[in-house]
């Protein structure tokens, strides 16, 4: 699937907020600094879903990955993650972390490994996703990217 990422700006946030809320993902902090959100578009310019990066040095939190419910299971989620990995690598990020309550099998299939919360860098552990927005029972996963 040939796709491109379009960085979202402030006026796109209500649309993103609606998609995240519908999927039960956190929305409270999406307008805070340090987050970059993208719409991923297919070759016809149609949005296949959204995703975001929250950078902390050489590490980033991969977050807010969402595909519309009726379109799941066709590879779009994997393409979105792959696209964000490309954006992250371009910025010199070498490790991506993700918190998920029920999409662990999805991330495992695309190279993310479950890790102990104690091995998460302090800056990532201090993000609002870690401290407040996601439940303490969520699984933390990591993938190393780049050279
Ligand atoms: C997770 C998500 C982005 C995957 O999108 P998708 O387009 O369905 O992903 P793909 O088609 O690339 O991969 C689908 C595979 O992942 C598995 N998968 C996806 N979500 C899953 C979940 N919640 N639990 C178990 N498996 C899941 C599917 O079973 C499928 O595997 P299969 O082909 O063997 O059946 C989508 O389900 C979604 O938007 N979920 C709600 C938001 C969310 O949980 N985001 C992740 C945390 S940021």
72 Cα to the center of ligand 1, angstroms:
7
pLDDT by residue (tens digit) across 99-123?
998 899 999 999 999 999 889 999 9
pLDDT by residue (tens digit) across 125-145?
999 888 887 777 899 999 999
* CATH number of domain containing 117: 3.40.630.30
Q: Say yes or no: CB of residue 133 within 6 Å of ligand 1.
A: no
Q: How many domains does the chain have?
A: 1
Q: Say yes or no: CB of residue 82 within 6 Å of ligand 1.
A: no
Structure-token pair, residue 103 = 């999409």
Q: Say yes or no: CB of residue 84 within 6 Å of ligand 1.
A: no
142 Cα to the center of ligand 1, angstroms:
17
Distance separating alpha carbons of residues 48 and 6, to the nearest angstrom: 11
1-15, 27-41, 121-135, range with the lowest pLDDT: 121-135
pLDDT by residue (tens digit) across 70-107?
999 999 999 999 999 999 999 999 999 999 988 999 99
The domain in which residue 127 lies consists of 4-144
Three-state SS string over the chain comes to CCCEEEECCHHHHHHHHHHHHHCCCCCCCCCCCCEEEEEEECCCCCEEEEEEEEEECCEEEEEEEECCHHHCCCCHHHHHHHHHHHHHHHCCCCEEEEEECCCHHHHHHCCCEEECHHHCCHHHHCCHHHHHHCCCCCEEEEEECCC
Q: Say yes or no: CB of residue 81 within 6 Å of ligand 1.
A: no
């Amino acid at each position: 699937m040939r796709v491109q990422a379009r960085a979202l700006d402030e006026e796109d946030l209500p649309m993103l907020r609606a998609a995240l809320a519908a999927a039960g993902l956190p929305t409270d902090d999406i307008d805070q600094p340090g987050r970059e959100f993208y719409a991923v578009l297919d070759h016809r310019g149609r949005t296949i879903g959204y995703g975001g990066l929250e950078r902390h040095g050489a590490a980033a939190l991969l977050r807010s990955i969402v595909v519309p419910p009726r379109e799941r299971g066709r590879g779009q989620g994997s393409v979105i993650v792959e696209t964000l990995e490309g954006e992250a690598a371009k910025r010199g990020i070498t490790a991506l972390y993700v918190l998920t309550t029920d999409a662990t099998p999805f991330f495992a299939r695309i190279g993310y490994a479950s890790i102990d919360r104690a091995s998460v860098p302090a800056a990532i552990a201090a993000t609002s996703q870690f401290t407040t927005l996601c439940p303490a029972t969520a699984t933390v996963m990591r993938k190393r990217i780049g050279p």
